[in-house]
Amino acid sequence: EVQLVESGGGLVQPGGSLRLSCAASGFTFSNYDMHWVRQATGKGLEWVSTIGTTGDTYYPGSVKGRFTISRENAKNSLYLQMNNLRAGDTAVYYCARATPSNAVDLWGQGTMVTVSS
Amino acid sequence: QSALTQPPSASGSPGQSVTISCIGTSSDVGGYNYVSWYQQHPGKVPKVMIYEVSKRPSGVPARFSGSKSGNTASLTVSGLQAEDEADYYCSSYAGSNNFVLFGGGTKLTVL
């Protein structure tokens, strides 16, 4: 079955760190760019980061310098290292497979990250 | 970066057509034919309905269509059905600096 399964979410204090993981299966993971997209409760979708097939990375200004996306093709896995977390980072984080035009054609079920003291 | 601009709500009666707009700039919507649209039902994962402005993935009904004029993209849902009631998000590639932008979302109500 073609799927993405995230893990690693949880409750963390402001200023803390968390590492999210995403396990891909059912497709050739190394052939795809991958995104992380987040959604705060009751809010819209927000792009968090992208990693290309060659390891090139992209971030919006809101997380640049705090978040690091990486991939391990041998393990069909995507990661998001999140440091210096803020209350505004509280959201469901989705792992997502990108099409050549950067649309998302496959989403994970999401993992909840809560930043609170 | 600024999000793409969508109306917060739209509505129509069953069988009618409704169009949702997505306003960007020449650096995103207007600069690339890489606009996509997503449908999200409450508590569910988003689903791509349109990609590359007007292409429909396999399995998406032909009632859903996309277009673009200048810096504005549009999603049209024809022959509205009750199951079309959902949140809809547009997205665009925005170059190597901003990469991906999303709209704020439009809640579509089928009256």
Percent helix, strand and coil across chain B, each rounded to 5?
A: 5, 50, 45
pLDDT at B96: 78
pLDDT in tens, A5-26: 999 999 999 999 999 999 999 9
Give the number of residues written for chain A.
117
Please answer whether residues A101 and A82 qualify as being in contact, where contact means their C-beta atoms are separated by less than 8 angstroms. Answer: no
Tell me how close the Cα of B78 comes to any Cα of chain A, in angstroms.
Answer: 23
Give the model's pLDDT for residue B3. Answer: 85
Residue A101's pLDDT is: 87
Nearest CB partner across the interface for B102, out of A47, A108, A110: A47
Interface check B34 vs A, CB under 8 A: yes
B84 Cβ partners below 8 Å, 6+ apart? B39, B63, B77, B108, B110
Interface membership of B95 toward A (CB under 8 Å): no
**pLDDT tops 60 at residue B93:** yes
Please enumerate, as own/partner, the contacts of A40-45 that have beta carbons within 8 Å and a separation of 24 or more.
Answer: A40/A90, A40/A91, A40/A92, A41/A90, A41/A91, A41/A92, A43/A91, A44/B3, A44/B89, A44/B102, A44/B103, A44/B104, A44/B105, A45/B38, A45/B46, A45/B89, A45/B91, A45/B102, A45/B105
Does residue A87 carry a pLDDT above 80? Answer: yes
* Alpha-carbon separation of residue B60 from A105, B36, B63 (angstroms): 12, 13, 8
pLDDT in tens, B45-81: 999 999 999 999 999 999 999 999 999 999 999 999 9
Mutation target to probe the B interface, by most B beta carbons within 10 A, among A102, A107, A111, A112 is A102
pLDDT band at B84 (very low <50, low <70, confident <90, very high): very high
Residue B91 has a pLDDT of: 97
Chain B partners of A99 at a C-beta cutoff of 8 Å? 51
Buried b (16+ CB within 10 A) or exposed e, A78-108: bbbebeebeeebbbbbbbbbbbebbbbebbb
In this predicted structure, the answer to whether residue B1 has a pLDDT above a threshold of 70 is: no
d(CA A33, CA A31): 7
pLDDT digits (tens, 9 = 90+) for A44-80: 999 999 999 999 999 999 999 999 999 999 999 999 9
Q: How many CB pairs under 8 A join A and B?
A: 63
Q: Residue A81's pLDDT band (boundaries 50, 70, 90)?
A: very high
Average pLDDT for A70-93: 98
